[in-house]
Structure 1
């Protein structure tokens, strides 16, 4: 208990020293934000008040400004369901709609309000929040806690096969060829190896879907007559009062695959499976639309989550092109496709959900103004009482853990009666010290993330022109693509760029840096991600995850160094795994939290094979006495070993010797293993034979 208390006290003292009065803090935030009217309509909220009208209805009035000096103030009136938006003074908002006499009206019939528009949330996360907002917030917080499963691997392969076929052919022979080609890709082979699957098993699962692929193509692509397509019910807003919803949909071509779109206008981001051009035939009239096509490999449910995801993708699509007004939902198992109209009612409610989710993510901690009170984690959205939803929830463990450790839900007075058995069942294996450890480190990681997020979240890509960003050395703008794009492998494309006018500016970018490539136009944010391969005074070569040769040659690009936020996804995921009810996690809790001393094997001869002793002895000859002692201690370790040394004392040399010994031992042992079939093989690495951990400081 004492080390945790000391650490918490030190943390509180540190943040207490940095605390400022609320007014000064507000001034500090106001000086750094970017405001303005126009397409983005970025406003600062100065005051919030609740107003009750004569008819008994309620409104929320916001005093806002788009002026850095706060000289020009406007009024935003939230009515109907928009009153529930949890907006506070000091917040940044984006407004959509009409403004008359410096007054915005946001109600059920017109206008949208986007809270924290620079926080881009994926459409998948928002759609999942419909049934449980708490699950969606937890998924954004503990992102790395879900391992890839067999179903997820099959789904990924099926997506890729369909995406390749829609740009090529849906002939049965071609589909078989594409399926085999995709299954044999290195990244999928790695996952099969980890899941103890072989190619034949995966290929067999994939082939079950291929007839449905051909059926879909036969129904909706390359039709000689519109009447050959199945009749569907779709009414678009632009159709006006026309009550005839019956139509035939013909998919003409695929315009993009895995189109990545960032939308600071709506605070959204996402990747659209396939962007397709379609013809909608209704009677003797034909309308052409570019729509998102979402692929689903699971059960054909046409669920509200799936449909909501399409509605959000129509909002994303508006960043690049005209409003599609609808999207298409395709279930790959059956080949059935559903048109999903994007009605204003649906968009309104989903954006309100997005605002609630953004508020929960933004206000993860409560930091006192004076420093006399503790900095604490805020409660998450309320735990729902739906047994069926919770039973299959991927975040059930984290939900109960957070509830017990942070929100202190341990009795009937602090939690809904129906949730207590589930909370206790999921956390009964944890001691009080374990819960305290989780709460403390979750708080510290969140604080670290918040401090970095205030400075870096890639928002300069849309807030600052490249000419201004170039002064910092982290951006190169005004670039044009030269030469042909070279395909290195699937998902990696080599691009060459040069400055349209003049030489490259002075830059901090160098080979190996991660970058985000965007167009200079605001409609082309974050087209691709990748690495700088080579850079000189005239050209820059980049390895990107998308082939940009489909864009016009005259397109101007900008390269921004990817601002690496404090990456807490991995440590938070590890913190979550540390609390799991498994033997491995229990051992780690004993060592890390309960401070059990590490154990060591008494004799080196008991773990080294006879034929490895000479090899290890030859490696030890090149080390000094402290290095040999450190290496011996590592070889004898059952749990972990700490190696501490000042710079220049030979820690790196010791590590190299350890790796060399480990590799030699692995080679010698693996030679004596009986050969096994691929299906029976499990991941055997050097670390499989050497299970102790070494930490060098």
Structure 2
């Protein structure tokens, strides 16, 4: 563990600073943000917070007063008053906020009845994560932090297949024979077959389970689509906010047609992002009146619970929808197992409480590190408090990471408070780990977080919604004023070939090349991040892109912009791997022995135990052209039981060695399989 101590020493030297007074620290934060962040009034209403104070009003209630500015020079200032529960928003000087509401005489008032404050609006958080934070904020923050540690399951695969079958059917037909055909086609798609193989699932069993849902699909379509009169549709209770004091909430809902599938929306206005399963045109028949709305339709494959999490997700999707079109005022929640559909009105109270949860989550994700109490060390901060509901924790996908973070990070702090009832669970989840393993986790979690925050402050997607393409083009990372030409070609499911050219003039000088990842948006602010993909071909007149959505449904006159998808520091994979390294499995135990405890790798003594007996000539042919050091490296790798590091200066042939090694490994595997088959055929028990 001497090396771990060296790393800690380097950390201390790198991040050691004298403690600063809070006022001076906040002032530096304000100056840093104002120099590189776009501020504006109008639709964006992006403000920089200069001062925060708690004030007691005439009624004796406390208010939070913010001195804010949308001026880059910080000269023109306004006041924002947060009342009621909005006082709990953890806003600080130097923060960027977005305001919704009215500004009268340079004063914003955000209270329980009117207005919203969005903290760090450029941090786009998924509606699913926010909805999951209702029962446990800690789980939601962990899910955003350790994203790749969640393993796909049988239920997730079945759910994905069912979503796709329904989405195809709503654009085609819900006839029983058509549903059978769509189910068969979807189950046999390569990506689903690969997942079945990984999960060791039988294709026929998956198909059978999917087919059990199909009658409910037909039932739903029979209830809510293509009836003769408005009275044929089931009656529901749907009080729309725009109805005001109208007490008649009874209505008939008619789903006219799907307008989009898996519509991806980014909302820098509300700090949200998400994919809406189906966007549908709906007629609401109430008495002799009819309203037409475009609403989000959310599909659920699990138990029909009509739970607060499911309903909250719909409410957040109504906020997302406002980036593209008029406020839908409600969403539709459909349980595919039963065909039961629930209308979910989006009331101001619900949106207010969910946006407050979103702000708390954004604060926790933004402030993942801080100075220690002495001011001499940078350290990870505690996550939101553990809940004391053992039944909820029992089925939580993040229970392992929750206990691990508590033991490795939080329990090392003086002010740590862990619920006593949760201590046995924490011990159960982490008792297989040594102290050195916990220290390793804490250190590298901190290192990865520091790296992420450093690079995220420099590179992100903000330019797409903050800067017009004309200002971005000189950097070479954007091409604007594009129109779609030719027909969109479907390469395969989820990949569509698009051709673009400039509406006026030649292509600007650009850094974009074939193979670059890009984000395609409309020039209108309502069309942020329509699709993602990569450049297939680019020349002086046209650019061809392979995108994940078919944009032919948009008008031909739509103007587009292509932005290079900047490669931010992606810590999802290394954090996920760090989490897996700490799991209580044989594979993880072996890796901890090698990586953390520095057990020396072991090697086999003789090549004859690795190579087939009759492989001399074939192996010689594969090794032809390698020099002596390369052959020695090959031999060492073949003899390795654990790992081998191949080290060499640039140009010494490391890549050639690895490519040859892959060929040889493949040959060895094929030879072994043939030998096993030959042995099985010669066995007296074989048929």
Q: How has the CA–CA distance of structure 1 residues 36 and 368 changed in structure 2, closer, same or farther, with 3 Å as cutoff? A: farther
Aligned to 2:351: 347
Give the aligned partner of residue 5 of structure 1: 5
The alignment status of 1:382 with 2:385, answered yes or no, reads yes
Equivalent residue, structure 2, for 1:690: none
1:403 corresponds in structure 2 to 406
Q: Which residue pairs with 1:44 in the alignment?
A: 48
Deviates more, 1:23-32 or 1:237-246: 23-32
Q: Deviations over 1:197-219 (max 9, x none)?
A: 23211110110000000000000
- State the shift of 1:424 in Å: 0.7
Instruction: Give the TM-score normalised by the residue count of structure 2.
Output: 0.96
Judge which range, 639-648 or 322-331, deviates more: 639-648
The answer for the alignment partner of 2:666 in structure 1 is 663
Greater Cα shift, 177-186 or 206-215: 177-186
Aligned to 2:322: 318
CA distance in 2, matches of 1:542, 1:649: 37
For 1:653 and 1:618, the matched residues in 2 are separated by 15
Does the 8 A contact of 2:17 with 2:377 survive in 1?
no
Q: Which residue of 2 aligns with 1:71?
A: 75
Q: Does 1:534 align with 2:526?
A: no
Q: 2:286 aligns with which of 275, 282, 286?
A: 282
User: Residues 52 and 372 (structure 1 numbering): CA distance in 2 closer, same or farther, change over 3 Å?
Assistant: closer
Counterpart of 1:392 in structure 2 is 395
Q: Which of residues 633, 638, 642 is equivalent to 1:635?
A: 638
| Alpha-carbon distance, 1:368 to partner | 6.6
1:266 — aligned with what? 270
Rounded Cα–Cα distance in structure 2 between residues aligned with 1:492 and 1:619: 37
User: Is 1:212–2:216 an aligned residue pair?
Assistant: yes
Q: Is the 8 A contact 2:30 2:50 kept in 1?
A: no
Alignment correspondent of 1:450 = 453
Partners of 2:570 and 2:145 lie apart in 1 by 11
Q: Alignment partner of 2:263: what SS? A: strand
Partner of 2:485: 482
| Residue 482 of structure 2 corresponds to residue 471 of structure 1 | no
Aligned partners of 1:247, 1:194: CA distance in 2, in Å?
Answer: 47
Question: 1:580 and 1:410 mapped to 2: Cα distance?
Answer: 23
Partner of 2:654: 651
- Post-superposition offset of 1:18: 12
Hey, what does 1:223 align to over in structure 2? 227
Match of 2:523 among 515, 520, 536: 520
Match of 1:331? Answer: 335
Note if contact 1:120-1:268 (Cα within 8 Å) is conserved in structure 2. Answer: yes
CA distance in 2, matches of 1:481, 1:13: 54
Q: What is the deviation of 1:597?
A: 0.3
Match of 1:30 in 2: 34
Partner Cα separation in structure 2 for residue 187 and residue 141 of structure 1? 26
**Aligned counterpart in structure 2 of residue 503 of structure 1, from 501, 506, 517:** 506
2-structure distance, mates of 1:112, 1:271: 23
Residue 257 of structure 1 corresponds to which residue in structure 2?
Answer: 261
Q: Does 1:304 align with 2:339?
A: no
Tell me the SS of whatever aligns to 2:484: strand
Q: Normalising to structure 1: TM-score of the pair?
A: 0.95
Q: 2:586 aligns with which of 583, 586, 589?
A: 583
Contact 2:501 2:543 in 1 (8 A): yes
Who is 1:555 aligned against? Answer: 558
- Cross-structure match for 2:14: 14
Q: Which position in structure 1 is the counterpart of 2:236? A: 232
Shift of 1:4: 1.1
Alpha-carbon distance change, 19 to 506 in structure 1, aligned in 2, over 3 angstroms: farther
The 8 Å contact of residues 163 and 299 in structure 2, kept in 1 or not, is answered as yes
Task: Please state how far the C-alpha of 1:52 moved relative to its aligned partner.
Answer: 1.9
2:137 aligned with 1:133: yes
For 2:500 and 2:582, the matched residues in 1 are separated by 48
Q: CA deviation at 1:522?
A: 0.3
Counterparts of 2:527 and 2:56 in 1: how far apart (Å)? 43
Q: Which residue of structure 1 lines up, in the alignment, with residue 685 of structure 2?
A: none
Q: Which of 361, 366, 374 in structure 2 is aligned with 1:362?
A: 366
Once the 2 structures are TM-superposed, how far is the Cα of residue 412 of structure 1 from its aligned partner? 12
**Helix, strand or coil: the match of 2:206?**
helix
Aligned length: 674
Report the Cα distance in structure 2 between the residues aligned to 1:196 and 1:451, rounded to whole angstroms.
Answer: 41
For 1:59, which of 59, 63, 80 is the aligned residue?
Answer: 63
**Counterpart check, 1:91 vs 2:95:** yes
Question: Which piece of structure 1 moves more, 202-211 or 605-614?
Answer: 605-614
Post-superposition shift, 1:616? 2.0
What's 2:681 paired with? none
SS of the residue 2:166 aligns to: helix
How far 1:612 moved relative to its partner?
2.6
What do residues 361-385 of structure 1 show as CA deviations (whole Å, max 9, x unaligned)? 000000479x951100011000110
Other structure's SS at 2:673 match: helix
1:619 deviation in Å?
A: 2.9
Contact 1:511 / 1:533 at 8 angstroms: preserved in 2? Answer: yes
What secondary structure does 2:485 align onto?
strand
Q: CA deviation at 1:10?
A: 1.3
Structure 2: runs of 5+ lacking an equivalent:
679-687
Deviation per residue, 1:309-352 (Å, 9 max, x gap): 00000000011111000000000000000000000000000000
1:546-573 Cα distance to aligned partner (Å, 9 max, x none): 0000000000000000011101000000
Contact 2:15–2:376 at 8 Å: present in 1 too?
A: no
